[in-house]
Amino acid sequence: MYEVEHLLSMGSELGEGPLWHPSQGKLYWVDIVAGLIHRVTPGQGEVETFPVGQPVGALGLREKGGFILALKRGLHFWDPATQQLEFLVDPEADQPQSRFNDAAVDRRGRFWAGTLDQDNRSVLYRYDPDRALHVMQTDILLSNGIGWSPDNRTMYYSVSLMGAVLAYDFDLDSGSLANRRVFADYTGQIPDGLTVDSEGFVWVAVWGGWRVDRYDPAGKLAAQVKMPVAQPTCPAFGGENLDELYITSAWQGLNAQQRQEQPLAGDVFRIRPGVRGIAEPQFAG
């Protein structure tokens, strides 16, 4: 049984994308709709908030400092010290209703980010350190969490409105995908963000499910974390020893009565799962 700690009262409409910054000892996350990036040293001080001026889906660490962001209007570098954005690419600039959603950096320093349009149709892109952009998947409904096995041989990909977490054979050197298959069947449910721990188990936030699931590498459900909110959005490991699991949440789509029944919706939570995570890679460009 996991003990869920209510860490931060945020009330975010769409809290998402927790990311641990190891050298700073800080947790970063976003409120997508509000276009805000938050950061905090857990247990110390106030939450700092940075507006970026447009919806922000996710952020990744950058080797040269700062972050790479997946925004409504494309990919950007961002420096929290100056709060300046540096535009990189917007592959869907001709689609004003489209925006980037969840994203992650692989262990060769490439940035993977998926979009969604007004009908939740998605494209998964891979942005390389040499500034080349590659289309990796197109037949997707609501691109979401992305993660890799500890041995870099498998990529996991949450496709929310297809009711599945997919798995692919992953080639680390080339960044190619093969042998697409269903890793976890969520028919009738909505898998959201995910992360992979040091034992190769996959943690999946279930939107509308009041829980976070943990699967073993063979795709067998191993454990469930019961949450005090219906819409957990994404888990991520952090803390000095990467032995804490942070979980964001959202109140988006809840009616007035549901929000009253879920006063913690949109807040940030923490559990101590008894297993460590894997340090997040950094974008190499």
Catalytic residue among 102, 106, 192, 213: 192
Q: Which residues pair with 178 in a beta bridge?
A: 169
Determine the Cα–Cα distance for residues 182 and 187; give it in Å rounded to an integer: 11
Alpha carbons 252 and 233: distance in angstroms, whole number: 11
Assign residue 163 a region: left if phi > 0, alpha if psi is -120 to 50, beta otherwise? Answer: left
Residue 192 falls in the annotated catalytic set: yes
Round to whole Å and give the CA distance between 182 and 184.
Answer: 6
Q: How far apart are CA 21 and CA 259, in angstroms?
A: 31
C-alpha–C-alpha distance, residues 192 and 224, integer Å: 15
Q: Report the catalytic residues.
A: 192
